[in-house]
Structure 1
Amino acid sequence: MAATQVVRSEWTKIRSVASTVWTLSLAVVVTVALGMLISALSRSQFDRMPVRERLSFDPTFVSFAGMTLGQLAMIVFGVLVVSNEYSTGMIRTSLAAVPQRGTFLFSKIAVATGLALVIGMVTSFAAFFLGQSVLGSLRTEIGEPGVLRAVIGGGLYMTLIAMFSMGVATMLRSPMLSLGILMPFFFLISNILANVDATKRIGRFLPDQAGSRIMQVVPRVDDDTPYGPWGGLGIMVLWVIASLVGGYLALRNRDA
């Protein structure tokens, strides 16, 4: 089967599964809504914040406060795109139709990544503009130094989260096992490692901790992170490449 036919087939699969459509819709809604809520709270509490927090107040990053839940939806999307075929048994039919496993996997990832990128960018720009509208006098503008980079970076960050999840799900095959590892990793383990003094030097190189730097415009007071916004995104890209290579090797070397 030609690569274009495989891509078209994967697009049909993704759009025909209701759970993936609802998951992406949820990513937009929760990210924007939570960002607006946190922006409103930040505006009302700004005068009571400690001086240290006011000095490092980042209106752009505040509007992305909902990314925590948005990345949850992207993780679920990435896992479902890959593991739905394993849970339903359709993987055998798919591999029979497309024996070239590399073509099969990377066509699926390409289609899902394109969709995640569109949703990620829409979400990031919507979260920024609506969040700034709520911040009032604390707001910033898209033309300010570093702001457009951060907004575009927010969309890239969400896309990379989905891609990383696809690679992990390809290695593990089970949706429950994939989510059971990815959820605690991103929402518990990563934050603990990045905020405990003994493990901070390691934790800051984890994919979400490094990648989220791209969304920051105002550096934190006494921030000693050894990389900048693009360096952090680069570290995240390396994690994504590793997960996708691992997924490909796992798919290539074992039975469906």
Structure 2
Amino acid sequence: MSTSTVSETVSPGREQTDAAPTNVARARDDHPARARRSDARPTAAPSGCRQTFGRAVRAEWVKVRSLRSTWITSSIAVGITVLLSAAISIGYAGSSELADQAADAVISGNQFGQIVVAVLGALVITGEYSSGQIRSSLAAVPHRGRLLAAKALVVGVLGFLIGAVSTLVTWAVSAPFMDGHAGSLADPEYLGFVWGTGLSFAGIALMALGLGFLLRSTAGAITLALTLLFIIDLPLSLMALKWDWAATLEGFEPLQTAMAVYDPFHHMVTWGQADSMYFLQQWQAALVFGAWAIVPLLAGWVLFARRDA
């Protein structure tokens, strides 16, 4: 009787012992983490997470518009262009000798606005290098050519808007005080001042952006841009009084060739004048101006693709 009792006592324990491995194995198989690991399969990234050129452009626009320096520099560019152009237009309209030129004087202050836009173009990229944000930009957009192209598109469009708005505001401000000498925006040739100024501002901004990629220094890029746009003109103007080659070099300056773009119907300048800084044909001057914008960008792209951030 004791033997049967012992067997009855031990038997349930044996059943529990024999069942334990089975229960443990079942528990392991039912563990959610193990199930996920065993069922994991390599899947492609969702299409909504892929980096595209459109998303890169959107990100660059968000960065540019969120910077206080963008709005300050843009306001200065528009303000100085409108102030000088409107003052000259109104002054011409009040002069009997210059009244006929008053309508075309709405672009007289463009060169000063372009200098400020050059500062804006350089700051877009050099500001990222000085703050270290360029590393975050490259982490988000590893394709460096795509990143440069996105920045160039944003800067070019911003420069175009600044130039076009400057001309429109100049006309709106000066027209009521010009005694009927103001031009008409319904005239296609006169409207050329608007989009021509926009294109010239965009070209200068892209040139400065390319210099920023080349030098990666705010002070260096702005200094070189101002030298090419303004400072170099002073000694060349003096040397041109004695040497013809200096006048030839002066005709290739970005601010001189920009006139072929923001004055598309040559109201202010007659091109093709021998023995002067306007010896180029208008289309040749426009190509030279385009080279001032494209060549620094291409050189900046080559170095940007090869150098570390």
1:34 is aligned to: 84
Aligned match for 2:160, one of 101, 113, 117: 117
C-alpha separation between the residues in 1 aligned to 2:172 and 2:183?
10
> What 5-or-longer segments of structure 2 have no aligned partner?
1-50
Q: Is the 8 A contact 1:35 1:63 kept in 2?
A: yes
- For 2:305, give the aligned amino acid: R
- For 2:204, give the aligned amino acid: I
Q: Is the 8 A contact 1:39 1:134 kept in 2?
A: no
C-alpha separation between the residues in 2 aligned to 1:237 and 1:75?
15
Matched, 1:255 2:298: no
Q: How far did 1:141 drift?
A: 3.4
2:128 is aligned to: 85
Matched, 1:180 2:223: yes
Greater RCO (Cα-Cα under 8 Å, separation 6 or more): 1
- For 1:126, give the aligned amino acid: V
Question: Which SS does the other structure have where 1:139 is aligned?
Answer: coil
C-alpha separation between the residues in 2 aligned to 1:131 and 1:222?
31
Q: Is the 8 A contact 2:229 2:253 kept in 1?
A: no
Aligned match for 2:182, one of 139, 144, 154: 139
- For 1:181, give the aligned amino acid: L
Question: Which SS does the other structure have where 1:141 is aligned?
Answer: coil
Q: How many residues align?
A: 249
Cα–Cα, structure 1 residues 188 and 171, in superposed 2: closer, same or farther, change >3 Å? same
Q: How far did 1:9 drift?
A: 1.2
- For 1:244, give the aligned amino acid: L
Q: Is the 8 A contact 1:168 1:178 kept in 2?
A: yes
Query: Which structure is larger by alpha-carbon Rg, 1 or 2?
Result: 2
1:166 is aligned to: 209
Question: Which SS does the other structure have where 2:307 is aligned?
Answer: coil
Provide the TM-score with structure 1 as the length reference. Answer: 0.86
What are the residue-to-residue correspondences of 1:68-107 with 2, within 5 Å?
Answer: 68-107=111-150
Which moved further from structure 2: 142-151 or 89-98? Answer: 142-151
Matched, 1:236 2:289: yes
Q: Is the 8 A contact 1:194 1:201 kept in 2?
A: no
RMSD of Structure 2 on Structure 1 (CA): 2.6
Q: How far did 1:139 drift?
A: 3.5
Which moved further from structure 2: 163-172 or 31-40? Answer: 31-40
Aligned match for 2:251, one of 198, 204, 208: 204
Q: How far did 1:157 drift?
A: 0.8
Question: Which SS does the other structure have where 1:136 is aligned?
Answer: coil
